[in-house]
A and B are shown apart, each in its own frame.
Chain A
Amino acid sequence: MTINQKISIPLFLLAVAYIIASILLPKYDYILIDADGFPLILGGFLLVLSVLLFFNKEEEDARVFIAREDLKIIGIVVALILLYIVFLEPLGFVISTALFIFICSFLLGYRNNIVNSIVSLLFPITFYLLFTRYLMISLPAGVLPF
């Protein structure tokens, strides 16, 4: 199977699911074009486009492929982001961001720990103050008292 055919199948399924979900939307009387009107058109378009893509021969050399090593490092970064999201509110913005910057830079290969520590601390503190004091937007304080 060519790459375009491989892409077109999930798109086709998405279109079908989207159309079914549109049909299942509640209807109202006396409304000319109800909430399902536009989604049905969109679903139809995607259906047609996915079929066109199936038979299309352009850009056949496109790949998601990346070197295993890169995949590993991207996986690590994604995991770090997930950890950051989980700990943002309990730990607070400053601490979790400082830890994120330091660990992420370190794992990506930055070895100047002194500069890394300084940036990791200065960056979140500056933004924390900018947001909470100047822009009046609150960020999670977490375990810190201020």
Chain B
Amino acid sequence: MNSFNGIIEGFQVAFSLEGMLFVAIGVLIGTVIGIMPGLGPITAIAVMIPITYGMDATFALVMMAGVYYGSIFGSSTSSILLNTPGAASTVATTFDGYPLAQRGEAGKALAIAAIASFVGGTVAAIFLMLFAPILAGLAVSFGPAEYFALMLLGMTAISSLSEGSSIRAFISAVLGFMAVTIGIDSQTGTSRFTFGNVNFLEGIDFLVIALGLFALAEVTYLIINRRDRSFEKISNIGSIRLSKKDFKEISGPMSRHSVLGFIIGILPGAGATIASFMSYVTEKRLSKNPEEFGKGSLKGLAAPETSTNAASTGSFVPLLSLGIPGSGTTAVLLGALLVLGVQPGPLLVSEEPSLFWGVIASMYIGNIMLLILNLPLIPYIAKVLKIPRPLLISLVLTLCMMGVYVISFSTFDLYLLLFFGVLGYVMKSLRFPAAPFILAFVLGNLLEENFRMALTISNGSWMVFLGNPVVLALLLLSLLSIVLPNLRRVKKKI
């Protein structure tokens, strides 16, 4: 009963005073950042990374996980109240959440969102507890070839599943990959593409990329919309009480979409955004009166909310058990873990049981705290929307620069940050998704290393990829993930 002891240990970590404190800090800060229109989970996590320097890795991850699901929670609040989602994963929440708020039932909508998120997150945390160790057990025997194929699948999946043009997404991934090749090659010691600049020898720090491409690009959005005064409309959110009938109505979608969301969350590349849209569409299809959807349907609000939270918890399965993130957000989380000196992978559960189980156990507490935070306290938290935009912009900019400065204590990285900020803005306006870029950047070194290691072990024989059924299956899946969506597109044209 090794894992049983691990679970006990995890709960001890999560229920310790320090553990609960860091979960509380994480979910609170996550909610506050997530509520700001335009600032999403990636920005929330990236901004918090510098704070974790020097912290105990377990508590740091517990806090970061809290920031992650807290920011999704917060983002749905602004989706409902303002119709401006902070993250793509809560866009579907606006469909029925905002109409409810316009009808004067904002309180009810917020309550449903909070309960649905709580259910989705908690159910998924139970599944996470069951499935993550199983997957880790399967992956223990994986060698470099399997890892290479898995990472490749993650990257092709995120590129072909991202919204909009998949050519753009692939270009974004290749650029991310190229950015990580800058610096000393770990296998031969050759310095690549440094052009004689010593600052490039250690490569570009991932925080520079995360804060530049996401946080700074999002701040630009805030600057352009700095005169937006929509938040002043929020006055009375109405009662947050739900009737028995309301509960009955949302219980079906909640149970369905906790499972669906979790499964989609595990899949490489899919993640919370796709989960929320799929759940919304499925629920509409199942509904007896689909015409209510989009006009303030309780089911239409509960389904994506449950699903988003279940998926974000589900995305921890590949992150913790394989060490391979499936989304941009978990890629940033992986980067944060690497900074702390933790290398997630199949051995994590046996080597660092208190971290592995501690994070999972903390999710139960985090979800309860979010429920408390969001039900009675939401009117007060929504007040952060009234922070004057100019002040908010200056503070976020300062946080980004401070975060980058403390990595290397050199101003060179700050210039790089500015460069990636501009690049992020240009990419955003030309509709190049940034998530494939960051995923490729975080996975790039590992992918290359495993690829070269596999070929070195096999003495240059490509059969190391083609002769192994697991690897072959994974490679075929990556190929399918590239071909299928494009095939559909071509078919549509005909």
Question: Taking beta carbons and an 8 Å cutoff, which residues of A are in contact with B?
Answer: 3, 7, 11, 18, 21-22, 25-26, 28, 31-35, 37-39, 42-43, 45-46, 49-50, 52-53, 56, 58-59, 62-66, 70, 73-74, 77-78, 81-82, 84-86, 88-89, 93, 97, 100-101, 104-106, 108-110, 112, 115-116, 119, 123-124, 127, 130-131, 135-139
Contacts and interface: CB of A to CB of B under 8 A. Distances in A.
A88 B405 contact: yes
Given A116-B391, A137-B53, A46 B174 contact: yes
A49 B171 contact: yes
A59 B171 contact: no
Interface string B153-166: 00000000000110
B165 A58 contact: yes
The 9 closest A-B pairs by CB, nearest first: A108-B390, A110-B390, A35-B190, A104-B394, A35-B185, A58-B165, A105-B390, A101-B394, A85-B414
Secondary structure at the B interface, as helix, strand, loop or mixed, is helix
- Residue among B165, B170, B398, B448 having the largest count of chain A Cβ atoms under 10 Å: B398
A130 B48 CA distance: 13
Interface in B173-230: 174-175, 177-178, 181, 185, 187-188, 190, 192-193, 220, 223-224, 226-227
B415 A85 contact: yes
Nearest to B188: A35
Contacts of B395: 101, 119, 123
Contacts of A38: 181, 448, 451-452
Interface of B: 51, 53-55, 164-165, 167-168, 170-171, 174-175, 177-178, 181, 185, 187-188, 190, 192-193, 220, 223-224, 226-227, 388-391, 393-395, 397-398, 401-402, 405-406, 409, 411, 414-415, 418, 422, 426, 429-431, 448, 451-452, 455-456, 459-460
Contact of B456 (A32, A112, A116): A32
A58 B455 contact: no
27 contacts: A18-B178, A32-B456, A35-B185, A38-B448, A38-B451, A39-B178, A43-B178, A52-B167, A58-B164, A58-B165, A58-B168, A62-B429, A64-B426, A70-B223, A85-B401, A88-B405, A100-B397, A101-B395, A104-B397, A105-B390, A105-B393, A110-B391, A112-B388, A124-B398, A136-B54, A137-B406, A139-B402
A99 to B, nearest CB: 11
Secondary structure at the A interface, as helix, strand, loop or mixed, is helix
A97 B398 contact: yes
A109 B388 CA distance: 10
Nearest to A130: B51
A39 B164 contact: no
Contact of A32 (B190, B388, B431, B455): B455
A110 B388 contact: yes
B81 to A, nearest CB: 23
B393 A104 contact: yes
A25 to B, nearest CB: 6
Contacts of A77: 223, 393, 397
B398 A100 contact: yes
Nearest to B460: A32
A56 B167 contact: yes
B411 A85 contact: yes
Nearest to B52: A135
A73 B170 CA distance: 32
- Residue among A33, A124, A130 having the largest count of chain B Cβ atoms under 10 Å: A33
A88 B397 contact: no
Given A33-B452, A66-B224, A139-B406, A11 B171 contact: yes
Given A7-B430, A58-B167, A32 B452 contact: yes
Given A58-B165, A139-B405, A39 B390 contact: no
A50 B401 contact: no
Contacts of A3: 430
Contacts of A130: 51
A139 B407 CA distance: 11
Contacts of A50: 171
Contacts of B398: 97, 100-101, 123-124
B426 to A, nearest CB: 6
A131 B406 CA distance: 9
B435 to A, nearest CB: 16
A43 B402 CA distance: 34
Nearest to B54: A135
A89 B405 CA distance: 10
B477 to A, nearest CB: 19
A74 B394 contact: no
Contact of B411 (A88, A97, A110): A88
A35 B191 CA distance: 9
Nearest to A43: B178
A136 B55 CA distance: 10
Given A35-B187, A46-B174, A49-B167, A64 B452 contact: no
B224 A105 contact: no
Contacts of A86: 411
Contacts of A56: 165, 167
A108 B219 CA distance: 12
Contacts of A104: 390, 393-394, 397
